[in-house]
Chains A and B, each alone.
Chain A
Amino acid sequence: MSDAPQKVTVTIDGREVQAEQGELLIKVAQDNGTFVPRFCWHERMKPVGMCRMCLVEVDGVRGLPPACTTTVTDGMVVSTQSETVKKAQDGVLEFLLINHPLDCPVCDRGGECPLQDQTLAFGPAESRYVEEKRHYEKPIPISDLVLLDRERCIQCSRCTRFADDIAGDPLIDFGERGGQMQVITYPDDPFVSYFSGNTVQVCPVGALTAKPYRFKARPWDLASVETTCQTCSVGCRGSVESSSNRIVRMLGVDVEPTNHGWLCDKGRFGVEALHAEDRIRTPMVRRDGELVECSWPEALDAAAAGIQRALDLHGPGGVALIGGSRGTNEDAYAWARLAKGVIGTDHVDAQLGDGLPAELVLGLPGATIPDLDRAAAIVLLAPDLKEELPVLYLRVRRAAVDLGVPLVDVSALDHGLSRYASATVRHLPGEQQSAAREVAAALAPLTEGRSGPIVVVLGRPDVATAADATVAAAGVLADLPEARFLMALRRGNVRGALEVGLAPGVLPGRVSLESGAERFTAAWGRVPAARGLDATGILGAAAEGRVGALVLVGADVTDDFPDRHLARAGVRGAGFVVAVDANRTEAVAAADVVLPAALWGEKSGTTTNLEGRVQRVARKVSPDGSPMPDWRIAGELALRLGTDFDLEDETELQDEIAAVAPGFAEVDAILLRRARDGVVLPLADHRDELVLEARRIPVTDFSWEPIAPAEPEVEAAEASDPDAAPEAIDASDEPRPAQVPAAGLPDAATITWTGAEARPTPGRDNYALRLVAGRRLYDAGRTVSASPSLAGLVPETALRVHPQEISRIGVADGDPVRITTSRGTQTLALTGDTTVPLGVAVMAFNLGGVGVGDLVDATSVVTDLRVETVR
């Protein structure tokens, strides 16, 4: 069997076009500039041919086949415009309208509704339908986020297909039949899905509306710009829309490598957090024990003075920085340069004790998200992707369900993808390494006859177990044939922060402190003398009074670091605390200087997703008050500490990164502006994935259609022949005016990971329960709590154990017990759950109140709980 699809020639409205045998006619027409009207067909879903709007004529075929279910064959002659076709399409439109309310003026879709548009074009102002229309109770909530107006529904099944086929959450379906057919949920069983917002986006009419957006704006008042979501590190492309300097909506943009147009609800609706009440709008300094508002120069002077004092007292090692994984690459680079190149400290960590060592992240052979589609198999040793990296979950699910890629699940517990696994290796928390040793045997029967890489999705399954277990397992999995790794790290730009050196032991561009010392001394003037501490080490040192100045960059350590005890002790023990943040967290309240930061949506730059794909984020609104982008804040501090970065805007930073950081070679501002799907680092390995020319898509700008990525900004002179086929340009052929050659900078070898020492996992004694603490998508973190629509969705904290454990302990389900760890004793209720293995206790991290953060000791390898009845 040959893999190459056969080429065929099809004539559409008299024009010959080339296509691949078996492609859908509607798609071929669209790709060649003919828009066949449609409602039910969606590029990313299987065709159903329900709405019948796309009827066309095909020579030799009786009747009017729908273009969305007709596959092209060689020599096919198609008419999309004939009188017969027009009559049939007008007929379908009339049928759709007879029961559709004419409430466009108050409908969210008004102005971007195909039904409305096509009706305007269609003509007869007067309806031939004089009867009563169908009536239903006006919008009913089908979930906390989505409302359904059954009168407006045109029964296209996009929402139900999305829920079932794409999200795997078939909680909506059609009920009844014929003219009564409507979208239903089960009574008291709402459409609870992390992906519900996509149904609103794919709904071609205003039947589904998002509560957060309802009546907020009219489409014609909106200005939109393409950007990359930074809620997690999948890097979904989106279009962010604002009205009167407020972001009111985020839509998914359809790009092949990452999100296929989908977003999770946290990314989509979390934009509300931008306009949260508790945003910090003005700098503050502590005076007489109180934080008081002040001017920027005052605050910056105070911050610099504090840092200088620490330097004077302790030397560079007396200053530490935690955070920086939520900003742009440019921000992170500026912090890295400030810390390592100006202050000279290596006590820098963008991860909050829940990640993996930078050397491992940067040094293992990397996979891209599309590698999942063509993998021989996928090995999953990671946190619950549905909770932490939702759109990556969709992609893995699709690979397993639709593309038949075998999935090997290595986990301690059931999670969102478990039911799609072809093989499962279960392990005790902390015993990932021995589980990893079973993977090769599990893979063997599954990969027989399959080619492609083994893609390992690797991450720390939970925050109660230290990185050691995962590091040890990675060492085993790296030996699998053709293993490539996708790093399941969570925070928006954590990968970018590591890539630019915001971690102990590394410098920008995937070089180690040692190998890059010479190069960066040349570029920056200095580098740290020795490897520094990670976040756990920094907080520990601070608690012991060894940190003179602690800079917290968007790092809400008391809630987001697994060990609250250590976090509080660290912040308290640090001599001087600078908080660069946007919201009033506990750490901010304890800071000596508070510098208000601009957030995503308020600044432009680039971000790096978990593949190492650098994509652009856009500024859409300006912040209220005077927040500044981090890179500027870092620059101002550097200036006050004696170094002038001399950088005017983020593009200059991009060029500097490209020049000094080996992993970013050639990835300068011009390339970043031109690369439609971003640039995967290092460019040398991913040149063929670079797309510098957008497909020409004649689709109208309907938000309900998959939104195509914007044309990259190609200089007019370069803009090529519009009929040319999409092309991947070899970037090295291009003139590179802004390329600052790395000339003059000594070479530095990039990191390859060859394994690391890991602390062994201690055994569990029979009376203890071992804690597994994964995250939930909706947690007490800042995005959720600052987004009114999401804040109410945070689940209750529960400590779940197998019912047998409850009876063993001698209490009833729901009874409080005393839980003791090295961090002290808490009283918590136990909830029975048969999916939890014996000997294990499960609790989600950071749901607010007493919880995991009060139990975990970040310095130990695992967290074992001693349970006693309350007397």
Chain B
Amino acid sequence: MAFTNENLAVAQEILARYPKPKSAILPLAHLAQDQDGYLTQDAMREIAELVGVTPAEVLGTTSFYTMFKRDPVGRLVVSVCTNVTCLVLGGPEVLEHLERRYAGDTEVTIEEVECLAACGNAPAMQVNYEFHESLTPEGAAEIVDAYKRGELTARGVSGGQVGGGA
């Protein structure tokens, strides 16, 4: 299945923003991924049609970007940074702990990512692109569990950091 009727209307609105339709590939791919959880082949075909390119070009473009998943992922995508600040402040340990703990859990997909621009409170991770910072391995797992239980939902948790840990 490709876009729902509502999302097709959103897609038209997105297309109208750009002087050239091909520019809409990324926003449309985000829209499709938000809808289906990952970027399905049907969606890429439909995007190709909407912007007037071949499906190969849509795949060529989208496969360049790490945020687009081409296979199904868990309901919760947990992105753990291990780049150089998180590296020395415990990021790899958080990653390892989560990977072990959620191995085989189809609801949770753990991935290692590059610097998330949260180094002021390293180590950091995102759950469905929601920031969580100053983590410990156990603390990170508690956060993921809270999402699993529905106590946390993605949106507006962190306010971005200022100096001094404020």
CA of A185 to CA of B59, assembled, Å: 8
A171 interfacial by beta-carbon distance below 8 Å: yes
With a cutoff of 8 Å between Cβ atoms, the chain A residues found around residue B58 in the complex are 186
B49 interfacial by beta-carbon distance below 8 Å: no
Tell me whether B64 and A185 are in contact (CB under 8 A): no
Q: Give chain B nearest CB distance to A193 CB in angstroms.
A: 11
B104 interfacial by beta-carbon distance below 8 Å: no
A189 interfacial by beta-carbon distance below 8 Å: yes
Tell me whether A175 and B60 are in contact (CB under 8 A): yes
Given known A176-B64, A177-B64, A187-B41, contact A170–B59 (CB-CB < 8 A): no
Tell me whether B63 and A186 are in contact (CB under 8 A): no
Given known A186-B54, A186-B55, A189-B55, contact A174–B60 (CB-CB < 8 A): yes
Within 8 A of B (CB), among A154-181: 170-177
Q: Give chain B nearest CB distance to A66 CB in angstroms.
A: 23
A184 interfacial by beta-carbon distance below 8 Å: yes
User: A177: nearest residue on chain B (CB-CB)?
Assistant: B64
B142 interfacial by beta-carbon distance below 8 Å: no
Given known A186-B44, A187-B41, contact A172–B56 (CB-CB < 8 A): yes
Within 8 A of A (CB), among B33-72: 41, 44-45, 53-61, 63-64
User: A181: nearest residue on chain B (CB-CB)?
Assistant: B64
Q: Give chain A nearest CB distance to B157 CB in angstroms.
A: 30
Tell me whether A186 and B64 are in contact (CB under 8 A): no
Q: Give chain B nearest CB distance to A728 CB in angstroms.
A: 43
CA of A170 to CA of B53, assembled, Å: 8
Tell me whether A185 and B56 are in contact (CB under 8 A): yes
Tell me whether A184 and B57 are in contact (CB under 8 A): no
With a cutoff of 8 Å between Cβ atoms, the chain B residues found around residue A186 in the complex are 41, 44-45, 54-56, 58-59
With a cutoff of 8 Å between Cβ atoms, the chain A residues found around residue B59 in the complex are 173, 175, 184, 186
Of the candidates B53, B54, B63, the one whose C-beta lies within 8 Å of that of A175 is B63
With a cutoff of 8 Å between Cβ atoms, the chain A residues found around residue B60 in the complex are 173-175, 184
Given known A186-B44, A187-B41, contact A170–B56 (CB-CB < 8 A): yes
CA of A847 to CA of B52, assembled, Å: 30
Q: Give chain A nearest CB distance to B130 CB in angstroms.
A: 26
Q: Give chain B nearest CB distance to A443 CB in angstroms.
A: 27
Contact with B along A179-205 (1 / 0, CB 8 A): 000001111010000000000000000
Q: Give chain B nearest CB distance to A652 CB in angstroms.
A: 53
With a cutoff of 8 Å between Cβ atoms, the chain B residues found around residue A184 in the complex are 56, 59-60, 63
User: A182: nearest residue on chain B (CB-CB)?
Assistant: B63
With a cutoff of 8 Å between Cβ atoms, the chain B residues found around residue A176 in the complex are 63-64
Q: Give chain B nearest CB distance to A174 CB in angstroms.
A: 6
CA of A171 to CA of B58, assembled, Å: 10
With a cutoff of 8 Å between Cβ atoms, the chain B residues found around residue A170 in the complex are 53-54, 56-57
CA of A229 to CA of B49, assembled, Å: 37
User: A180: nearest residue on chain B (CB-CB)?
Assistant: B63
CA of A186 to CA of B62, assembled, Å: 12
Given known A186-B44, A187-B41, contact A171–B54 (CB-CB < 8 A): yes
Tell me whether A171 and B64 are in contact (CB under 8 A): no
Q: Give chain B nearest CB distance to A369 CB in angstroms.
A: 28
CA of A172 to CA of B53, assembled, Å: 12
With a cutoff of 8 Å between Cβ atoms, the chain B residues found around residue A185 in the complex are 56
With a cutoff of 8 Å between Cβ atoms, the chain A residues found around residue B64 in the complex are 175-177
Tell me whether B56 and A189 are in contact (CB under 8 A): yes
With a cutoff of 8 Å between Cβ atoms, the chain B residues found around residue A174 in the complex are 60
CA of A176 to CA of B64, assembled, Å: 5
With a cutoff of 8 Å between Cβ atoms, the chain A residues found around residue B57 in the complex are 170, 173
CA of A175 to CA of B65, assembled, Å: 10
CA of A175 to CA of B62, assembled, Å: 8
Within 8 A of B (CB), among A128-177: 170-177
CA of A171 to CA of B53, assembled, Å: 9
CA of A173 to CA of B64, assembled, Å: 11
User: A176: nearest residue on chain B (CB-CB)?
Assistant: B63
With a cutoff of 8 Å between Cβ atoms, the chain B residues found around residue A173 in the complex are 54, 56-57, 59-61
CA of A171 to CA of B59, assembled, Å: 10
What are 6 A-to-B residue pairs whose CB atoms are below 8 Å?
A170-B57, A173-B59, A186-B44, A186-B54, A186-B55, A186-B59
Known A-B contacts: A176-B64, A186-B54. Give 20 more (CB < 8 A): A170-B56, A170-B57, A171-B56, A173-B56, A173-B57, A173-B60, A173-B61, A174-B60, A175-B64, A176-B63, A177-B63, A184-B56, A185-B56, A186-B45, A186-B55, A186-B56, A186-B59, A187-B41, A189-B54, A189-B56
Going nearest first, the 8 A-B pairs with the smallest beta carbon separation are A173-B60, A186-B55, A175-B63, A186-B56, A177-B64, A173-B56, A171-B56, A170-B54
B residues within 8 Å of A by Cβ? 41, 44-45, 53-61, 63-64
